[in-house]
DNA sequence: CGCTAACCGAGACGGTACGTCTGGTCTTCTT
DNA sequence: AAGAAGACCAGACGTACCGTCTCGGTTAGCG
């Protein structure tokens, strides 16, 4: 029941969107390393101050753009077996591989800026982990996972392989890869 | 065959070392994000040109310093069983966790600079993978790994978990963790 | 005839005064160079728009404040002789030396902004000249000034010396100085 | 016998001149109020830092340009009589009236920036006063100036009228004006 | 022993982005 | 319609580094 109406001119939604779009376009065309606040402002047709007013760093702009663009809700499959759930989850996750430049840039920034790192984990990384945890908890309830299994470790295996291949780009992140990873996990979980 | 002696004044070994030391000190004290060529040169008491003459980027300086400091030879345990070999390997690898700031910085740079990324993979990452491959190949020869197992994937699991925890810093990289990961791998390999 | 009452809410006299006071306070505390519309508005507790609505530039605010504060009527002495009139006029004028920061700022602004320069001359500088001209005309009628004397030049001597010392601050603007200048003028006028 | 050779790359004389020229061109074309360091650097084809390295403010750049362009030596006429000397001096000084925009800008800046004001007085204003003083001292030695005359005040009359007309631009600064001012001064000096 | 060549330190150079500041305009609700 | 609040676009500010360059000076092998 809070009254959200504030004094003064309200924030321009049009400008906010123009900035997010401009950030993603600049990112695609020139890469994260060449991304600048100046460039985003120029492309969005806004003043730099408007960006600095709402986001603490360029990474925060990109993160918000990513969250807005991505499916807000992370689909949690429920096929009845760990194997099928994992396969569905991995396939859905791998399908977002087009986001690679964005994710790479955000991770790079997180490594260089601890403040943003926290933001990135809370708003993105840990949200995805939570979805995976639901799947594993259900499988544990069905007895598909050994009682002494380390659920945290299993999740790290999933996201570890995912990020490692995303970062190094040395091996595929496609459906067959998802298949093999699911098989490995099922075997390891018993 | 090649006569490596060059005309003119030879490269100063003292300066080379001063630069590598200065780079690591700056890295420790101020973090990779604040690392600058200017700063390294100032601390090393040398001209900027001297750095640019021998290294293409600040990451290359740090990489060379890391390679020089780290055990040049990667120990490859041969205990007779996959389980023991993995445990020994992981324990040795995790022990280098003190390098975290350095590794984080190099990875960040690699994500932003494709040229350095190649360098980093060749000189560092793939060298470590090769050591692990020897262990896995031996285990396969002993029949400890299923014939249809995906050796590449197993390696990605090891280094994926390692890097994922290194980057996110959300879970420990200690001996118990190594133990559990080794157990998981043995189970998955069958 | 004209009906000056306008539609809508009338201008707030309290705000107008708060702005003029705030402008002079900022001027005294931080100097003209640091004077900003933002700062005046903040101190006056009003919106920037309210200032822009009524004054074209910060100098106009200061000018209005100065005119309001200063004696609205410029005293024109009539002692019976050029010498006494000049002395009285100079003494009265020099007494306003405390306005130096204000006058300095207004002159600086006038030099940089031709539109304000016109305003400044009409509302301030030429008003003072007119007073001096009355004195000189009366002296001419009494025959104290040679028929071929250049009255305009005499006025420029008075205000030239005054402003030159005000601007450079290299020599006093006190009563002895007024005395000497009056003597010089009387001599020059013959 | 100081050894002026300094370490490092020497200052570029070509760039120095390009900056001074660019500053005067910008000043002529757009006026002092619109003069920016950015603009000077852009026109001179140099980096902003190069300007900041050598001059503390844009006014210092303009001052150096003015000093370089103007006759370095201020001609001191010696015609044998105060009247002729003054006329020659005023004529020569008034002839530089083309400098008006430059002088106006420098004075405006001096009024806003006390540090530059000192610089401006020392390097420009007081140098001119010194020349005039030579003329007046010679006249005093010849007995053309009353023993009790205030030489400082006479100089302030000359430069006061000059600057007052320069700043307000309400009356001419030409040869007839010089003539009339010289006459007035001779009369006042007796 | 002098010449040549490549090194070294220092530091100026042209650029470019930074994050801040102010200007002048606009858009909301309130008086 | 005026006012307070505050967001908006625009663009200059002065700083920090980038990677390059140009000096004087040093240190090797070769003639």
Asked if the model's pLDDT at residue A53 lies above 80, the reply is yes
Helices D37-44 and D13-30: angle between axes, nearest 10 degrees: 120
> Of all helices (H) and strands (E), which one includes residue C169?
none
- Taking the C-alpha atoms of residue A183 and residue A173, their distance in angstroms, rounded to an integer, is 15
Among C165, C155, C179, C158, residue whose Cα is nearest residue C87: C179
Residue C29 CA and nucleotide E4 C1' are separated, in Å, by 67
For residue C63, which of C115, C17, C116 has the smallest C-alpha distance? C116
Q: Chain A within 8 Å of B53 (Cβ-Cβ)?
A: no
Name which of D17, D13, D125 is nearest D64 in CA terms: D17
The C-alpha atoms of residue B20 and residue B38 are separated, in whole angstroms, by 14
Say yes or no: A162 contacts chain B, CB-CB below 8 A.
yes
Question: Are B48 and B100 found together in one domain?
Answer: no
Same domain for A95 and A176, yes or no, is yes
Tell me the C-alpha distance between C162 and C94, whole Å.
8
Say if D102 falls within a structural domain.
yes
For residue A127, give both structure tokens.
Answer: 């949200």
pLDDT in tens, D89-113: 999 999 888 899 999 999 999 999 9
Same domain, D98 and D179: yes
What does the pLDDT read at residue B73?
78
Mutation choice for A interface testing from B62, B83, B151, B161 by most A CBs within 10 A? B161
pLDDT at B111 over 90: yes
CA-angle at C31, arms to C25 and C35, nearest 5°: 75
Residue % of chain A over a pLDDT of 70: 96
Beta strands in chain A (DSSP E): none
Residue B68 lies in a domain: no
- Res D70: pLDDT: 76
Q: What is the pTM of this model?
A: 0.91
Asked if residue A21 keeps its beta carbon closer than 7 A to nucleic acid strand F, the reply is no
Classify residue D25 by burial, with Cβ atoms within 10 Å: 0-12, 13-18, 19+. middle
Exposure pattern of C99-128 as b/e (b: 16+ CB <10 Å)? eeebbbbbbbbbbbbeebbebbbeebbeeb
Can you say how many angstroms the Cα of residue C156 is from the centroid of all Cα atoms in its chain? 15
Examine the domain organization and report whether A48 and A106 are in the same domain.
no
H or E element at residue A176: helix A175-189
Is residue B164's beta carbon less than 7 angstroms from any atom in nucleic acid strand F?
no
Alpha carbons A126 and A50: distance in angstroms, whole number: 29
State, as a whole number of angstroms, the distance between the CA of A10 and the C1' of E28: 6
Which band of pLDDT confidence, cut at 50, 70 and 90, is reported for residue D182?
very high
User: Measured between beta carbons, which residues in chain A are less than 8 angstroms from residue B171?
Assistant: 152, 156
Give D97's contacts (C-beta < 8 A, 6+ positions apart): D166, D173
Q: Convert the pLDDT of each residue in C158-177 to its tens digit.
A: 999 999 999 999 999 999 99
Residue C74 pLDDT: 81
Contact assignment for D153 to C181 by CB distance below 8 Å: yes
Does residue C43 approach strand E to less than 7 Å at its CB?
no
Q: Would you place residue B4 in the very low, low, confident or very high pLDDT band (cuts 50, 70, 90)?
A: low
pLDDT of residue C1: 42
CA pair distance B43, B130, nearest whole angstrom: 36
- Judged against a pLDDT cut of 80, whether residue B61 lies above it is answered with yes
pLDDT band at A2 (very low <50, low <70, confident <90, very high): very low
Residue A93 structure tokens? 């996750």
Is the same domain home to C158 and C95?
A: yes
Protein-proximal nucleotides of chain E (any atom < 7 Å from a CB): 4-31
CB atoms within 10 A of CB D34: 11
Same domain, A94 and A170: yes
Q: How confident is the model at residue C91, as a pLDDT? A: 93
Alpha carbon distance A22, A25 (integer Å): 5
- Contact, A101 vs A143, CB < 8 A? no
Task: Determine the average pLDDT of the residues in A150-167.
Answer: 97
Residues D111 and D184 in one domain: yes
Pair A79, A51 in one domain = no
Q: Are D91 and D154 in the same domain?
A: yes
Best residue of B184, B186, B189, B190 to probe chain A, by most A CBs closer than 10 Å: B184
Q: What is the mean pLDDT of residues D73-77?
A: 85
CA of C147 to C1' of F28 (A): 92
Identify whether B185 is part of a domain: yes
Q: How far are the Cα atoms of B11, D135, D167, D168 from residue D29, in angstroms, in the given order?
A: 53, 37, 19, 21
Confidence of residue D5 (pLDDT cuts 50, 70, 90): low
Is the distance from CB of C107 to CB of C59 less than 8 angstroms?
Answer: no
Tokens of D5: 């050779």
Q: Which of residues 85-124 of C touch strand E (CB under 7 A)?
A: none
Tell whether B168 and B94 lie within a shared domain.
Answer: yes
- Per the structure block, which two tokens stand in for D39? 């603009």
Burial class (CB in 10 A: 0-12, 13-18, 19+), D1: exposed
Residue range A80-86: average pLDDT? 95
Which residues constitute the domain of residue B144?
A: 74-189
* Minimum-distance nucleotide, CA of B39 to C1': F17
Assigned domain for D66 exists: no
Cβ proximity of D114 and D125 under 8 Å: no
Strand F bases near protein CB (under 7 Å) are 1-30
Q: Which pair of tokens denotes residue D103?
A: 């002088």
The string of pLDDT tens digits covering residues D56-70 is: 999 999 999 999 987
Residue with smallest Cα–C1' gap to E29? A7
Q: pLDDT digits over C75-84, tens only?
A: 899 999 999 9
What SS3 string covers chain D? CCCCCCCCCCCCHHHHHHHHHHHHHHHHHHCHHHCCHHHHHHHHCCCHHHHHHHCCCHHHHHHHHHHHHCCCCCCCCCCCCHHHHHHHHHHHHHHHHHHHHHHHHHHHHHHHCHHHHHHHHHHHHHHHHHHHHHHHHHHHHCCCCCCCCCHHHHHHHHHHHHHHHHHHCCCCCCHHHHHHHHHHHHHHHC
C190 near D CB under 8 A:
yes
Tokens representing residue C31 in the block: 């100097």
Q: Is the CB of D49 under 7 A from strand E?
A: yes
Local confidence band at C6 (pLDDT 50, 70, 90 cut-offs): low
d(CA A130, CA A125): 9
pLDDT single digits (tens) D143-157 = 999 998 999 999 999
Residue C64 inside a domain? The answer is no
Measure, in angstroms, how far nucleotide E30 C1' is from residue A6 CA.
Answer: 12
CATH number at residue C24: 1.10.10.60
Residue B2 has pLDDT above 70, yes or no: no
Q: Is A152 a member of any domain?
A: yes
Within a domain: A68: no
Task: Please tell me whether residues C27 and C114 are part of one structural domain.
Answer: no
A167 and A107 Cβ atoms separated by less than 8 Å: yes
Q: Is the dihedral of CA C145, C146, C151, C154 positive or negative?
A: negative
Least confident of B2-11, C96-105, C155-164: B2-11
Inform me whether the pLDDT recorded for D159 exceeds 60: yes
| CATH number, domain containing residue A101 | 1.10.357.10
- What integer pLDDT is reported at residue C72 of this predicted model? 64
Answer yes or no: is D2 within a domain. Answer: no
Token code pair at residue D108: 């405006």
**Is the pLDDT assigned to residue C121 strictly greater than 70?**
yes
**Residue of D58, D94, D161, D163 to mutate, testing the C interface (most C Cβ within 10 Å of its Cβ):** D161
Distance CA B7 to C1' E1 in A: 18
Q: Which of B59, B165, C19, B124 is nearest to B180 (CA)?
A: B165
Q: Report whether pLDDT(C2) > 50.
A: no
Chains that touch A (3 or more CB pairs under 8 A): B
pLDDT of residue C16: 95
**Mean confidence (pLDDT) of chain A:** 94
Nearest residue to A89 (alpha-carbon basis) of A156, A179, A170, A150: A179
Query: Chain D residue with minimal CA distance to C160?
Result: D160
> How many folded domains does chain A comprise?
2
**C-alpha distances in Å from residue B101, one per residue of B169, B173, D19, D40:** 11, 14, 45, 43
Are A141 and A99 members of one domain?
Answer: yes
Q: Which residue places its CA closest to the C1' of nucleotide F27? A: B9
């Amino acid at each position: 029941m809070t009254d959200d109406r504030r004094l003064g001119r309200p924030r321009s939604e049009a400008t906010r969107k123009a900035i997010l779009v401009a950030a993603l376009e600049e990112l695609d065309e020139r890469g994260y390393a060449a991304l600048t606040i100046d460039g985003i402002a120029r492309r969005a047709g806004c003043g730099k101050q408007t960006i600095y007013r709402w986001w603490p760093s360029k990474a925060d702009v990109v993160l918000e753009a990513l969250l807005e663009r991505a499916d807000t809700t992370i689909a949690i499959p429920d096929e009845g077996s760990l194997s099928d759930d994992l396969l569905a989850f991995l396939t859905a996750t791998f399908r977002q591989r087009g986001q690679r430049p964005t994710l790479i840039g955000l991770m790079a920034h997180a490594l260089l800026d601890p403040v943003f790192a926290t933001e990135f984990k809370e708003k993105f990384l840990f949200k995805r982990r939570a979805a995976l945890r639901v799947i594993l908890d259900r499988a544990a309830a069905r007895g598909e996972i050994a009682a002494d299994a380390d659920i945290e470790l299993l999740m790290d295996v999933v996201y570890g392989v995912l990020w490692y291949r995303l970062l190094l780009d040395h091996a595929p992140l496609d459906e067959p890869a998802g298949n093999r990873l699911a098989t490995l996990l099922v075997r390891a979980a018993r």
